[in-house]
Amino acid sequence: MENSSMYIISVYSENQVGLLSSISNIFTRRGINIESLTVFPSEFPGIHHFTFRAITTERAAQQVVGFIEKKVEVVRAFCFPDNATSAAEHGILADYLKNRNQ
Amino acid sequence: MTGAEILLESLLAEGVDTVFGYPGGSIITVYDKMYSYADRLRHILVRHEQGAIHAAQGYARATGRPGVVIVTSGPGATNVITGVADAMVDSTPVIVIAGQVGNALLGTDAFQETDVVGMTGPIDKWTFQIRRPEDVATAVAKAFHIASTGRPGPVVLDFTRDAQVGIADFDYQPCRHIRSYALPAPADEAAIEAAAQLIDDAERPFVVFGQGVLLSHAEDQLKAFLKKGGIPAASTMLGLSALPSDFPYYVGMAGMHGNIAANLMTQKCDVLIAVGMRFDDRVTGNPSTYARQAKVIHIDVDRTEIGKIIPAEVGILGDAAEVLGRLTERIRFSFHDEWAASARRYECVEQEKVCVPETAPAGGPVNMGEVVARVSELSGRDAIIVTDVGQNQLMGARYSRFARTRSFISSGGLGTMGFGLPAAIGAKTGAPDRQVVLFVGDGGIQMTLQEFGTIMQEGTAVKVVLLNNNWLGNVRQWQELFYGARYSQTRLLNPDFSLIAQAFGIRYRCVEERAELEDALREMLDSPQAYLLDVHVREEGMVYPMVPGGRRMDEILLNKDEWYRDGE
């Protein structure tokens, strides 16, 4: 078995009623407990930023990210170990939105 | 224009000519407006909302176009939930429009109010609550776009009364772009190149394809790919009919009750090319023992499927038609004659040990597989075969032969008993020029039996073959094999199906002896109207071969006492 550790799952989405519950269901269905959750407007206009912290395996975290990204209103999702930080995601997202907004 | 009219105009703008539904208090405005659209929009009145959604699924699977369902709030919406989950796992484009109470009553436990958004979110591709009439057209446009693109799936529109009765301008613009929803991009060149290299270097390449081939209309690309690479191929249950049954490289169906050749070749190939399939556990058995010797190339339009169950050496994210087309250009002409011919050896064993005893028994009661095989012959392999779930489904899948694509409709991932009868109604509605034959058991038919009323009212000419053994046969089979023959709650006392058919004005015949079977089947197939053929089949009938759950795919039971041994 893979080791479990704390992961941060970072989600950027359109603002949509019901989306938070839909995303949290993706954790629930896999028996993953959400340790903490924050929701706030991102620096990108109209895009909300959720961060979830959860203890899980890397494989499960990657799967959760895949299923979250399948939600129509989700723009991008990322996961990384809690001890790392990702500045790269902002760059990726900025590029993505630049392309999609055209 | 009212929101209700905008809904109907939007459906017409999307080319919809048929909807399946059931009226009720929170959708009555839409039904009122529909009264004036009867010449442009056919409404099939089902007898239970579950029937509406399964019919829409059957319609979508037969036609390739989204099925549309209109139901009321509360119980109307909850009654379609099973079908929504079924359409999700089987990638079926369905659009459900559910009435909802007025905006001011949301969240108040009003009459027939329920949290549709909360309930359907986890089991559909997209849910949206329409609260304003000016949002109706854009919501419908997005619904069609989302349901039918990428990996298709069900969409639920929760349509409040305010949005139905309110007034807005109608201006329909089809949806082509959603900022947060990317359509499949051309597949990655490096992945195609890596896959082509693996295939060129392979000695024993093998393809397992699924419904993705049908969904992406990649049948021709698959044939060209197999021919150029000289690669044998197996289908999953939902991939059936994407290749004609007599296609030279086709070795049959993979999975728990699949063909021996398909399963053994999975366990012997050196490169496994999975196309538009998702490695369901009914296909893989114990996944940690599945094709461990092979390098896996997984082609799928859904990123989450790649590597989800079986690790992929090369994952190719993309549309099957596009990827197969590009791969075919890239690979060398190859022959793997000895490898491909090894299928014949396994087929011989299966014929002798399983198929001949099932389809051409020396005597005794009629067998389920025998009925399916005769239907296939007598219908010239041209019918759309619909099945319910259980032994009827496995026999229907095993012994039907196909000449045309989109000819097999079954509830795969969810395994919904009761799916068959309404799905057959939907398939016949969508493909009225084709013969539609349903195989259903005596258990499953009683789960949605009320839809005979729909058949009666609409004159839908579906041919229902009831494989009647007075058991919940598939569970009974497991009880016999794995639970010490303790037949807990699987024996059925059935109604007199002749009286049921009579009550619904449906032609009926009962077959108890083998000698009557062919004549009865001909009469049924020739009938211009619906027909219920009640075939009393062997009560203890079993579906073999069988890879028991959790086993390796080459651990195959040929009958109750005999395992397949390779090399004999």
**So where are chain B's domains?**
3-165, 189-343, 365-536
- In Å, how far is A12's CA from the nearest CA of chain B? 9
CATH superfamily of B189-343: TPP-binding domain (3.40.50.1220)
Segment B376-399 mean pLDDT: 97
| Percent of chain B with pLDDT strictly greater than 70 | 100
CB B70 within 8 A of CB B44: no
**Does residue A86 have a pLDDT over 70?**
no
Structure tokens at B45: 């009145």
Residue of A nearest to B303 (CA): A66
Residues A30-37 have a mean pLDDT of 94
- Say yes or no to pLDDT of B50 above 80: yes
pLDDT exceeds cutoff 70 at B438: yes
pLDDT for residue B568 is more than 60: no
Number of domains in chain A: 1
Contacts of A66 in chain B (CB under 8 A): 303-304, 308
CATH of the domain at A69: 3.30.70.260
Q: How far is A85 from chain B (nearest CA, A)?
A: 24
Contact A72 B178 (CB under 8 A): yes
pLDDT reported for residue A1? 56
**B567, pLDDT greater than 70:** no
pLDDT of residue A87: 62
Across the range A35-41, mean pLDDT stands at 94
From chain B, the residues in CB contact with A21 under 8 A are 118, 121
The mean of the pLDDT values for chain B is 97
Contact between B529 and B459 under an 8 Å Cβ cutoff? The reply is yes
What pLDDT is recorded for position B380? 92
pLDDT at position B518:
97
B118–A18 C-beta distance less than 8 A:
yes
Q: Omega before B133 cis (within 30°)? A: no
Domain B3-165 annotated CATH 3.40.50.970: yes
Inter-residue contact B71 to B19 (CB < 8 Å): no
Determine the average pLDDT of the residues in A51-69: 94
- pLDDT over 60 (residue A85): no
Considering only CB atoms, which chain B residues are within 8 Å of A13? 180
Kindly list the distances between the CA atom of residue B126 and the CA atoms of B29, B61, B73, B120, B122, in Å, as whole numbers in the listed order: 24, 19, 18, 8, 9
Are both B3-165 and B365-536 of the same fold? yes
- The pLDDT value recorded for residue A23 is 93
pLDDT at residue B3, rounded to an integer: 98
**Among A22-26, A38-42, B7-11, the range of highest mean pLDDT:** B7-11
Q: Give residue ranges of A with CB < 8 Å to any B CB.
A: 13-14, 17-18, 21-22, 25-26, 29, 63, 66-67, 69-70, 72-75, 97, 100-101
To the nearest whole angstrom, how far is the Cα of A11 from the nearest Cα of chain B? 12
Q: Do B121 and A18 touch (CB under 8 A)?
A: yes
Hey, of B180, B183, B288, which one would you mutate to test binding to chain A, going by the most A CBs within 10 A of its CB?
B180
Provide the pLDDT for residue A62: 93
- B129 CB neighbours in chain A (<8 A) are 17-18
Mean pLDDT of all residues in B35-56: 98
Residue B122: its chain A contacts at CB < 8 A? 22, 25-26, 29
- Contact (CB<8Å) A100/B302: no
Q: Across the interface, which of A17, A72, A101 has its CB nearest the CB of B129? A: A17
Q: Which two tokens stand for residue B164?
A: 């139905």
CA distances from residue B169 to B134, B142, B165, B553 in whole angstroms, order as listed: 7, 18, 13, 59
Q: What percent of chain A has pLDDT over 90?
A: 63
The closest CB to that of B117, out of A18, A66, A74, belongs to A18
Supply the range of the domain harboring residue A16.
5-100
Distance CA B141, CA B126 (A): 13
CA B477 to chain centre: 23
Using CB atoms within 10 A of its CB, is residue B28 exposed (0-12), middle (13-18) or buried (19+)?
middle
On chain B, the residues whose CB falls within 8 A of the CB of A99 are none
Domain B365-536 indexed as CATH 3.90.1150.10: no
Q: If you average pLDDT over residues B235-257, what whole number do you get?
A: 98
A73-90 in b/e form (b: 16+ CB < 10 A) is: bbbbbbbbeeeeeeeebe
Contacting residues of A for B308, CB less than 8 Å apart: 63, 66
Higher-scoring residue by pLDDT: B147, A16: B147
Whether residue B170 has pLDDT greater than 80? yes
Our CA-based measurement puts residue A78 at a distance from the nearest CA of chain B, in whole angstroms, of 14
Q: Measured over all CA atoms, what is the biggest interatomic distance in chain B, rounded to whole angstroms?
A: 75
Average pLDDT over residues A44-62: 93
Number of A–B residue contacts, CB under 8 Å: 46
Interchain CB distance below 8 Å, A18 and B129? yes
User: Per-residue pLDDT averaged across B420-433, rounded?
Assistant: 98
What is A59-89 written as a DSSP string? Answer: HHHHHHHHHHHHSTTEEEEEEEETT---SHH
pLDDT (average), residues B407-427: 98
β partners of residue B535: B467, B511
Mean pLDDT, range B157-174, rounded to an integer: 97
